[in-house]
Amino acid sequence: MDRKDVNYGEYLHLDQILHAQFPESDRLNMPAHDEMLFIVIHQAYELWFKQLLYEVESVAGIMKKPAVNDNSPELQTVVHRLSRTVTILKVLVHQIDIMETMTPMDFLDFRDMLRPASGFQSWQFKILEARLGLKFEHRYGQEYYISQLQTAQINAIRHAESEKSVLQLLNDWLERMPFFEEPENWADYQPVTNAGHDANEHIFWNDYRQIYAGSLADAEQSNREQFNKVFLENTGTGLSAKACRAALFIMLYRGYPLLQLPFQLLNSLLEIDEQLSTWRYRHMNMVHRMIGTRIGTGGSTGRDYLKGALDKHYIFADIARLTSFLIERRKLPGLSQKMERRLGFL
């Protein structure tokens, strides 16, 4: 096909984008200057949501493969795109600074004209949450979840929920870590503790559990039981016990070259949760500043709903809680020579 010259405006379809703002206040002949800002910011949000979904879908596409080489361009691509996702989420947080240049009285000039439209009707954001791993049963305010959406939007969300999420794919990827399934990696392992070895438990984890227990303060003794629940039992949360063991091992020995990219992957997912939480927190405070205790234009409880979502909608909480089970670096068990060679690309 012959190549033709590309025009900037035509390439970006600026004629459509720049003429896609139709303030209700203009239509009703009740001018409200700040409604234009309100529309542009929310349109920008939806464009960023589209890009976030594009990145997350590409990550899921790579991670759903039967095997992902931890020393490969594929894993580097996953880490890079997750890092980009974090950066975009930071932009979403900072856009609230622009929104907050609008005062409560400026907002009241057009707020009632928007009913029952609401940011709660953003189906793209709901799809993004679902693709990352937020399950319906873990959502706050389930009664509002899809109550105001159109059938096509609901179907798109349901489809997203039926696909394996990034959290589920992460669990599968972590469970495939081979190191503990290969006896030769531990043939010359020297335990740090003198505790008797439980035949049902891997020699490394039996040793590590004893070291960890010895590091606890008196007020932290309940963590012994939590350790067993997280790493030895399947509690039915986002990550299995096997996946949690693999993730903790990555955190503990991330200094080895082979574990650098896996650690960056886990860290990027924690940053995604942190930025989503920050965005919800800023959004909640902005709503409280703008409308106080009044209900949202879509009928939600306003600030109270946002507070509930902030407290409950952590997607990668299972990764975050693993830091409760770290020990000081100087107390880490030394690995076998064979394992060190594997982790060091030797």
Q: Which residues are annotated as a binding site for substrate?
A: 38-42, 111, 297
Maximal CA-CA distance, the chain: 82
The sign one gets for the Cα dihedral 107, 109, 112, 114 is negative
Please give the annotated binding residues for heme, written as ranges: 283
Residue with tokens 């800023």: 282
Q: Which of 266, 262, 264 is nearest to 323 (CA)?
A: 266
Angle made by CA atoms 281, 283, 288, in degrees to the nearest 5: 95
Q: How far apart are CA 233 and CA 225, in angstroms?
A: 11
Please give the annotated binding residues, written as ranges: 38-42, 111, 283, 297
H helix runs in the chain, sequence order: 8-12, 14-17, 24-27, 35-63, 73-99, 104-108, 123-132, 151-162, 166-175, 203-214, 223-232, 241-252, 257-291, 303-312, 317-320, 337-343
Separation of first and last alpha carbons in the chain:
49
Q: How far apart are CA 239 and CA 325, in angstroms?
A: 15
Q: How far apart are CA 30 and CA 110, in angstroms?
A: 8
Q: How far apart are CA 130 and CA 136, in angstroms?
A: 8
**Is residue 272 within 8 Å of 263, Cβ to Cβ?**
no
